Amino acid sequence: MATTKTITCPRCGHGIVVYNNPVPTVDIIIEYNDGIVMIYRKNPPEGWALPGGFVDYGESVEDAAIREAREETGLEVRNLRMFHVYSSPDRDPRGHTITTVFIAVAHGELIPGDDAANARVFALDNLPQDIAFDHASIIADYTDWKKGEDKGILYK
């Protein structure tokens, strides 16, 4: 059941119903130099994360993934393909988000930018310990997929 709240229009004084819906985001598993790219976040929650962020109004999730990759890593991605969607209400401590995760390969020079304090390439068998959000689980699913062990995500 959607939750709502009513706010008052500052111009006319009428009530406006506002729905409290999940926010769409994207994350990108960027295959680069025999590993995957991760960024260290400038803003809370701190930790290493897959590049990604919020989808802008009027933007497709595919375009958001390409934009976020460029903004946070300086890399140009190609061969973008959708991997999975993750929607657990507690996946982001800031609020309920639904992320569409993409896989891509990249070229260019890895340079942290935007919300990234640092950007590095990690081998799948040598990941950092302090991984933000549910990205450790996403990377585990990706690792299974790479090994041919991904049978899809089983729900209930």
The CATH number linked to 131 is: 3.90.79.10
Q: What's the pLDDT at 1?
A: 58
Asked if pLDDT for residue 135 goes beyond 70, the answer is yes
Token reading at 133: 């959000």
Domain that holds residue 75: 22-146
Percentage of residues in the chain having pLDDT higher than 90: 80
Bigger pLDDT: 64 or 5? Answer: 64
Bigger pLDDT: 62 or 9? Answer: 62
> Has residue 151 been placed in a domain?
no
Q: What's the pLDDT at 57?
A: 95
> Has residue 10 been placed in a domain?
no
DSSP-derived 3-state class of residue 156: coil
Q: What's the pLDDT at 155?
A: 66
Tell me the C-alpha distance between 23 and 16, whole Å: 20
Q: What is the pLDDT of residues 57-106, one digit of tens each?
A: 999 999 999 999 999 999 999 999 999 999 999 999 999 999 999 999 99
Phi, psi of 96 (to 5 degrees): -75, 115
> Has residue 118 been placed in a domain?
yes
How many domains does the chain divide into? 1
Token reading at 75: 């890399």
> Has residue 134 been placed in a domain?
yes
Note whether 53 and 64 are within 8 A (CB): yes
> Has residue 2 been placed in a domain?
no
Q: What's the pLDDT at 153?
A: 64
Tell me the C-alpha distance between 7 and 43, whole Å: 29
- Section 44-56 average pLDDT: 96
DSSP class of 47 = S
Asked if pLDDT for residue 151 goes beyond 80, the answer is no
Helix (H) or strand (E) holding 66: helix 61-73
Phi, psi of 38 (to 5 degrees): -130, 150
Bigger pLDDT: 98 or 17? Answer: 98
Q: What is the pLDDT of residues 111-134, one digit of tens each?
A: 999 888 999 999 999 999 999 999
Asked if pLDDT for residue 35 goes beyond 80, the answer is yes
Q: What's the pLDDT at 66?
A: 97
Note whether 110 and 119 are within 8 A (CB): yes
Q: Which residue has the tokens 């690792």?
A: 143
> Has residue 152 been placed in a domain?
no
